[in-house]
Copies of this chain bind each other. A is one copy, B any other.
Amino acid sequence: MFQPAGGQLRVGVAIGEHVLDLAAVAAAGLLPADPAAFAAPSLNAFLALGRATWTATRRRVGELLTAGNTELRAAGLVPGALHPQDAVHLCLPVEVADYVDFYSSLEHATNLGRLFRPGGEPLLPNWRHLPVAYHGRAGTVVPSGTPIVRPCGQRLSPRAGEPSFGPSTRLDIELEVGFVVGVGSRLGTPVPAADAAEHIFGLVLVNDWSARDIQAWEYQPLGPFLGKSFATSISPWVVPLDALAPFRAPARPQDPPVLPYLRAEGDWALDLDLLVELHTAGMAARGLPPEVISRTNLRHVYWTMPQQLAHATVNGASLRTGDLFASGTVSGPEPGTYGSLIELTWGGTQPLRLPDGSERAFLEDGDTVTLRGWCGGDGGRPRVGFGAVSGQVQPAPLSG
Contacts and interface: CB of A to CB of B under 8 A. Distances in A.
A190 B399 contact: yes
A312 interface: yes
B397 A316 contact: yes
A97 B223 contact: no
A230 B317 contact: yes
A218 B319 contact: no
Nearest to A260: B400
Given A154-B259, A399-B190, A134 B137 contact: no
Nearest to A98: B139
Chain B CB count within 10 A is highest, among A130, A188, A320, for: A188
Given A149-B188, A151-B315, A315-B214, A163 B97 contact: no
Contact of A124 (B163, B164, B221): B221
Interface size class on chain A is 35 or more
A194 B223 CA distance: 27
Interface in A82-107: 97-98, 100, 103
A353 B374 CA distance: 62
Nearest to A394: B188
A97 B139 contact: yes
Contacts of A226: 311-312, 314-315, 317
A352 interface: no
Interface string A226-257: 11011100000000000000000000000010
A230 B315 contact: yes
Chain B CB count within 10 A is highest, among A98, A142, A312, A400, for: A98
A87 to B, nearest CB: 26
Contacts of A125: 156
Interface string A195-232: 00000000000000001001001111111111101110
Main SS at interface, chain A? loop
A157 interface: no
A382 to B, nearest CB: 36
- Give the copy number: 2
A205 B242 CA distance: 44
B217 A126 contact: yes
Given A129-B154, A154-B130, A187-B149, A139 B223 contact: no
A138 B189 contact: no
Given A165-B261, A223-B224, A190 B315 contact: no
A21 to B, nearest CB: 28
A178 interface: no
Contacts of A132: 218, 221-222, 225
Given A165-B259, A165-B261, A229-B315, A187 B137 contact: no
A383 interface: no
Contacts of A259: 154, 163-165
Interface string A152-190: 111010000011110000000000000000000001111
A231 B100 CA distance: 16
A163 B311 contact: no
A19 to B, nearest CB: 25
A399 B260 CA distance: 10
B134 A223 contact: yes
Contacts of A219: 221-223
Contact of A399 (B136, B229, B261): B261
B139 A319 contact: yes
A26 interface: no
Contacts of A292: none
Interface in A294-353: 311-312, 314-320, 323
Interface of A: 97-98, 100, 103, 113, 116-117, 124-126, 129-130, 132-140, 142, 146-147, 149, 151-154, 156, 162-165, 187-190, 211, 214, 217-227, 229-231, 256, 259-261, 311-312, 314-320, 323, 394, 397, 399-400
